[in-house]
Amino acid sequence: MTEHRSIDSELIEALTAAGDPYLSCDDCFEQTDVAVESLLATDGHLDDPFRVHLLRCPACHDEAVSLAELIGPELGLTPTEATARLDAELVREGAP
């Protein structure tokens, strides 16, 4: 079997190798509100465990995207800008 590795999977492996910051979906879900809002409101950054979980978990990623679309307009962003901000943060360079 030939292994095809994308940039994304290498990035995720690099991230998870650094201390294995992996949350359960429940833990992730509890943080989604606060994490997404503070990211969009303050130009802050997501916690690495949260970020890595979103990269690895399509369900929680969808949840975070929906939330970004919902609260973006409250913070002066269009839904598109809000989700772009979230996605940019997820693949941010220089992260541990």
- The least CB distance from residue 77 to Zn ion, in Å, is 24
Minimum CB distance to Zn ion smaller for 47 or for 81: 47
- The least CB distance from residue 24 to Zn ion, in Å, is 7
Q: Which residues of 25-38 are buried (b: 16+ CB within 10 A; e: fewer)?
A: eeebeebbeebbbe
The CB density around residue 5, as the number of other CB atoms within 10 Å, is: 8
- The least CB distance from residue 78 to Zn ion, in Å, is 26
Minimum CB distance to Zn ion smaller for 57 or for 84: 57
C-alpha 10: how far from its chain's center? 16
**Cα 77-35-82 angle, rounded to 5 deg:** 20
Minimum CB distance to Zn ion smaller for 13 or for 62: 62
The residues binding Zn ion (CB under 5 A) are 25, 28, 57, 60
